[in-house]
Amino acid sequence: MSTLGSTRTLQHPANAETMRSLSTVPVEDLSSALFPEWRFRILEAPTSVEGLQMAPTFNHRSVQLAEVLDLFSSVPAGVVIDCTLGGAGHAAALLEARSDLRVLGIDRDPVALAAATERLAPFGDRAVVVSSRFDALGEVIAAGLAGHGPWPTDVDGNPPQVVGILFDLGVSSPQLDDPDRGFSYRADAPLDMRMDQRGGQTAAELINTIDLDALTDLLRENGEDRLARRIAKAILAARPIATTGELAEIVAQSVPAAVRRRGHPAKRTFQALRIAVNAELDQLAIALDVALGALVPGGRCVVLSYHSGEDRMVKRAFQAAMTGGCTCPAQLPCVCGATPVVAKLHGGSLGATEEEIAVNPRAESVRLRAVVKLEEGHDA
């Protein structure tokens, strides 16, 4: 039996491509008979996963941990879905803080999944680790919880209720710090940037084939770069580009010293490409919608965003759910019959404290937004 307790790892069939390299893992397949559309797997020992590059330690400090714990401290007993499990820092802390919670954790990165499986092993079957993208959240909930899942139903046959959903967006420190992942302008490596390196287009493939207008739009929208056109032209002129070092140099040369902002001149270009390569905003829009629908009354959704495009999307999704899609003028009482689905927690968004930024510079750009699900029939 597993040396890691009974933490389970599920594979989503939509990610069949990404499952291939996990097929060498010694596993006990629990699902084939019970769950035809799913494969539930127990990793015998994550360090034995062939073909996966294991970080000796998954060195990621969870952002706004105290705030996240506080926000989930009053949810009813049930399941918290961590849509961005990473090294399971938030997830493990939640399981420690509340013995009546279970965690279903999703990630698309096999290195993170292995680290999280190891980290959550002491919690046994209170934790389930799912290998998937979070835009499949609806299917994950249906297959994982709706009466067929890994956890028992209650006496009335109901699946466990979803009382919390957490998104801690973007990439983890190990993803950024491993030069071979190709996320960073700080080290020279193949220009990859895929959170899941087992499939999909790399950043090099993207920038070597995209046309000028599309690249300009991508840099402008995902990187909010005023020099988007200029940088896009420089990239096209220098193609083919193979490495992070080449790209960082091309961008640095195309940004005049006089208009440089704080940080590396290629920072925004790298961010914009990463968002595009991983379709981050498209997936977030889908997942937020499903998340707000899945929560039971009193359940909470907490999102940590790290750039304004993400935060805007979260703000809009929460706003729409807070008004129930009300179309009435703001100053007048609602007459359109819209029903609020959630109420916001905190006035607006919450940044990290100076103290946290001092010990974890990654927290500098974070914006936390949180909402609580309302009882049905709540008036606008």
Ligand X SMILES: C[S@@+](CC[C@H](N)C(=O)[O-])C[C@H]1O[C@@H](n2cnc3c(N)ncnc32)[C@H](O)[C@@H]1O
Identify each DSSP E strand in 279-336 by its residue range: 300-305
71 lines the binding site for ligand X (CB under 6 A)? no
356 lines the binding site for ligand X (CB under 6 A)? no
Question: Per-residue DSSP letters for 293-307?
Answer: HHPPTT-EEEEEESS
Smallest gap from residue 105 Cβ to ligand X (A): 9
What gap in Å lies between CA 116 and CA 126, rounded to an integer?
Answer: 13
Stretch that binds ligand X, among 72-80, 86-94, 226-234, 248-256 (CB under 6 A): 86-94
Token digits for 13? 């069939």
CB atoms within 10 A of CB 293: 14
Closest CB to ligand X: residue number:
86
Residue 160, helix vs strand vs coil: coil
Smallest gap from residue 57 Cβ to ligand X (A): 12
271 lines the binding site for ligand X (CB under 6 A)? no
Tell me how long the chain is: 380
Name which of 375, 379, 321, 313 is nearest 349 in CA terms.
313
Quick one: which H or E segment has residue 145? helix 137-145
160 lines the binding site for ligand X (CB under 6 A)? no
134 lines the binding site for ligand X (CB under 6 A)? yes
318 lines the binding site for ligand X (CB under 6 A)? no
In sequence order, which residues have a C-beta less than 8 Å from that of residue 376 and are 6 or more positions away?
297, 339
Q: Site size for ligand X, by CB under 6 A?
A: 21
Token digits for 76? 């009813």
89 lines the binding site for ligand X (CB under 6 A)? yes
Is the Cβ–Cβ distance between 318 and 367 less than 8 Å?
Answer: no
Smallest gap from residue 5 Cβ to ligand X (A): 19
- Residue 38, CA distances (Å) to 12, 19, 211 in order: 6, 12, 39
Smallest gap from residue 136 Cβ to ligand X (A): 8
Instruction: By CB under 6 A, name the one of 67, 127, 129, 168 that touches ligand X.
Output: 168
Instruction: By CB under 6 A, name the one of 78, 87, 309, 324 that touches ligand X.
Output: 87
Smallest gap from residue 155 Cβ to ligand X (A): 33
| 107 vs 225, beta carbon nearer ligand X | 107
Question: Per-residue DSSP letters for 112-140?
Answer: HHHHHHHHHGGGGGGEEEEES-GGGHHHH
What gap in Å lies between CA 208 and CA 58, rounded to an integer?
Answer: 32
What gap in Å lies between CA 236 and CA 211, rounded to an integer?
Answer: 8
Stretch that binds ligand X, among 80-88, 231-239, 253-261, 266-274 (CB under 6 A): 80-88
84 lines the binding site for ligand X (CB under 6 A)? yes
79 lines the binding site for ligand X (CB under 6 A)? no
Residue 235, helix vs strand vs coil: helix
Smallest gap from residue 195 Cβ to ligand X (A): 4
46 lines the binding site for ligand X (CB under 6 A)? no
| 88 vs 207, beta carbon nearer ligand X | 88
Instruction: By CB under 6 A, name the one of 67, 107, 118, 310 that touches ligand X.
Output: 107
342 lines the binding site for ligand X (CB under 6 A)? no
Where do contacts with ligand X occur on this chain (CB under 6 A)?
Answer: 60, 62, 84, 86-90, 106-109, 112, 133-134, 168, 170-172, 195, 283
